Amino acid sequence: MALTLISGKRSDIQILRGIAVIAVVAFHFSERLFPNGYLGVDIFFVISGYVVAKSLIMINEDEIIVGQTRLAGLKSFILRRFQRLAPALGVMVTSSALLMFFLIPPDNINKFIGQGIFSIFALGNLGAILIVGDYFRPSPNPLVHTWSLGVEEQIYLVIATLFYLQSRVYKKVISNKLATLNFFYFFIGSLLLFILAWSWNSLSQNEIIETFNFYFWSQRLWEFSLGALLYSITVRKTVRASKLLTAITIFILFIFLFTGFSVTNKNFLILIICLLTAYFIAFSQLNSRSFFSRIAIFIGDRSFSIYLIHMPILYIVHYSPILSDGRNFKILKVFSLGLIIILSIILYNYIENRFRVSSSVREIEIFKVKSSIRVSIVQPVLTLFVVFILVNTSLLVPNKNPMPPIDPSTKLAHCKIDPGIEFCSDLSQAKFPEVLLIGDSHARYLSQTFLTTASMANRMAYVSTQSGCEYLLPQFAQGRIFENLSKVYGTQQRNEVESCFAHNERILNLVQEKKGMRVFVSLRSSSLVEMDYGIIPSVYYDSLLRSLEQLSERGARVILIGPNPEFSDGNRFFAGNTLFWQKVYETDERFTAQITFMRTNPFQDTNHFSKKLRSSKIGFIDIISIFCDSKICRRADNGVWLYANADHLSAEGNQLLAKEIESKMLF
C-alpha cells in the first residue's frame, strides 16, 4: 500500500498544505486559540522536500531556454524556484509597504522595511533574528513569518548546488540510489545537529543557541530531507515507506527514553509533527470529494499566497489606530480573515500563476524573466527606500522630536533594564520608606519624578515596580484567566525576577510591617485587558480594587494614579511622529472620540468601578484630566511630547504630575 499511495495524489498534498496554512494563520490570529500553530511551518518544510525532490534528482537534465540563452542544471533550477516564489513575495512587500505608510505609526515602519529587504534577498530568517530575536517574544514585526521562506530558499540553494556539483563530478545524472543516500545523510546530519543544539541549550539555557536552532537552515534541513527521502525511496521501490518511518520513529523514541528530554518542549512537538506529516504523505487515503477536502484543497492551492499575505493584514488590523479605537477590534480581526482569502485569490491568480514555470516548460520569453526581476526585486526595493526616506527624514516630519524621550528609571541604581524584563523591584533595600511607588512599567517611567518630588517634600521614598505586573493578589485573581498576568514577560523562566503574584505579596507584607505608609499605584489603565489576556474588564477592575483595598486594610494610604494615557492596545500610537499623524490626531473627530474613550475608561459606570472607587478609602490622581482637554492631548511647552512611547509618559509628562503627587504626599 505504501508503494502505491506514496507517489501520491496531488489532492492529498494540497489538503495537507491547507491544514498547515490554517494552523499558521490561526497561530498569528490568536496564540490562545491555537498555541502550537507555528508547527504548520514544519509541515511545509516536509512537503517541500517531497515535492521538490524530483527536480533535485533530475537537476543535471533540467534545462530551459530564456530568449536565445540556454540555461541548464543549477541555473535552470534556480530560475524555476525564483519564478515560483519571488514575484508573489515582491508584490506582497510592495503593496504592504504602501499600506503600512498610510495606516501604521511611523515608529513601527522601520521594522517592516528592514525585514522586507532581508526577505527579498532570501535572508528572512536572518532579518527575524536581528529584528525580533526570539520568535515567541511579543515584538511587532509584520514580516517575521518570512523567516521560514528564507530557510526554504537557502535549503534549495545549498542542496541544489551539492547535487549539481555531484552530477558534474560523476558526469551523469544522479541515480536514485545516490539521491536516496544523499537525502539520508542530510537527514541524519541535520537531525543530529538539531538534537545537539537542543540538548546544549537545555543545559546552558543559552538564548543564542535556541535562536540558532529555530531559525537556521542547517537545523531545518532534516525536515526537508525527510520529505525528499519519502519521494526517493518510492522511485527506487526497494524500501517500503513503512520501514523507513518505523525506523525513524524508533530513533526518536530512543532519544526521549534515554536522554530525558521533556515531551512538552516545542522541539519535541516539531519532531512529532514532522513525523506525522511523513506518515500522512505515505499512507493518506482521503476522499478528495468531501466538503472538508474541497475546502482544504482550495486553501492548499493558495497556501503560499495566504502565507505571504496574512501577517501584514493582521498586523495592520492590530496596530493601526486609523482602523480601530479598540472597541471594534474583534470585528476587524474576523473581517481580516475574509480579506486574507480575497487577496490571496488575487495574488494566486494574477501573480503566482502568471510567473511560475513548471518543470515541463522548456522555453520562456525573456520579458517574463525581466518582469519577474522588476516585480520581485526592483519595485519592492525602490518602494521600501522611498518609504524609509519619507519616514526618517524631515520631508514629512517637520515637528519630529530631535531626541526620543529617555526612560527616567535608568538613573535609578537599583533598577535593572533588560530587553526582556524591566524592573525596579528589590524590596530588600526598602528600609524605612514613608512613601512607596508600585506598579508596572508605567510606575517605572514615573520613578525618577516620584523620588525627586519625595525628596523635595522631605519624605523617605522607595520604588518597587515590575513590568507587566498589575497589582493583583492571588486570592482575588483566581482561575486560569489571570494565569498570564502571573507569569508575564517570562518571569518564571528567569532567576532575576519573582512571579507577579509573589512580588505583590511581598509589597503587602512590607506595608503591613511599616504602618502608615503612603502607597502610590501607577498601572496601565488596561481598558483593553480583555484583548490582551481574555479577561472581562469588569472582572479585572473588581479584582484590582479588592487588591488595593487589601493594602488599605493593612494600614497603607493608597493613591491610584490613572488612567494612564494609552491608545488601542497594540496600536502603539503615540502622539504624532510625523506631520501626517500629528494633524490627524489633533483634528480628526475619530481621535476626539478616542480621547473621550480614554477619559471614561476604565472608570465607567457600566462596571460600577468609579462608584466603588469613590466609596473606598483609595485616593485618585486623574492623569487624563491633567494632559487632555476634550480634543487634544497636548505636548509640553518646549514641544516635546508627553509620551515616551505608546502609552508611557515621558520625563516631561511626569513633571506635570509632580504637584499632584506632592499634594498627596503631604496631605
Over residues 262-314, the pLDDT tens digits come to 666 778 888 888 999 988 888 876 666 777 888 888 999 999 999 999 989 98
The more confidently predicted of residues 123 and 16 is 123
Which of 21-30, 221-230, 479-488 is modeled with the greatest confidence?
A: 221-230
pLDDT at 372: 95
State mean pLDDT over 84-93.
96
Provide the pLDDT confidence category of residue 636 given band limits of 50, 70 and 90: very low
State mean pLDDT over 209-236.
89
536-587 residue pLDDT tens: 666 777 788 889 999 999 888 999 887 665 543 333 333 333 333 333 344 3
Provide the pLDDT confidence category of residue 125 given band limits of 50, 70 and 90: very high
pLDDT at 581: 37
Residue type, 546: R
Say how many CA atoms lie within 13 Å of 156 toward its Cβ: 26
Q: Quick one: 413 exposed, middle or buried, by C-beta within 10 A (0-12, 13-18, 19+)?
A: exposed
The CATH number assigned to the domain with range 408-666 reads: 3.40.50.1110
* Cα–Cα dist 187/222, whole Å: 4
* Cα–Cα dist 102/616, whole Å: 45
DSSP 633: B
State mean pLDDT over 161-178.
81
Provide the pLDDT confidence category of residue 352 given band limits of 50, 70 and 90: very high
User: What's the CA angle centered on 223, arms 219 and 228, to 5 degrees?
Assistant: 130
pLDDT at 47: 92
585-619 residue pLDDT tens: 443 444 444 445 444 444 343 445 666 777 788 88
Provide the pLDDT confidence category of residue 485 given band limits of 50, 70 and 90: low
CATH 3.40.50.1110 positions along the chain are: 408-666
User: What's the CA angle centered on 340, arms 336 and 341, to 5 degrees?
Assistant: 120
Please report which helix (H) or strand (E) contains residue 340, including its range.
helix 329-347
The answer, yes or no, to whether residue 458 has pLDDT greater than 80, is yes
Grouping H, G, I as helix, E, B as strand and the rest as coil, residue 329 is: helix
- 480: its cell numbers: 486560569
Pairing of strands 619-621, 435-439: unpaired
How far from 143 is each of 92, 100, 147, 476, CA to CA, in Å? 10, 12, 8, 40
pLDDT at 627: 63
409-435 residue pLDDT tens: 666 666 665 544 556 766 666 677 889
pLDDT at 528: 38
- 555: its cell numbers: 494600614
Q: What are phi and psi for residue 363, nearest 5 degrees?
A: -155, 135
pLDDT at 227: 93
- Contact between 447 and 476 (Cβ < 8 Å): no
**Residue 398, preceding peptide bond in cis (omega within 30° of 0):** no
Pairing of strands 518-522, 435-439: parallel
User: Which of 193-202, 378-387, 527-536, 544-553 comes out lowest in average pLDDT?
Assistant: 527-536
The answer, yes or no, to whether residue 217 has pLDDT greater than 80, is yes
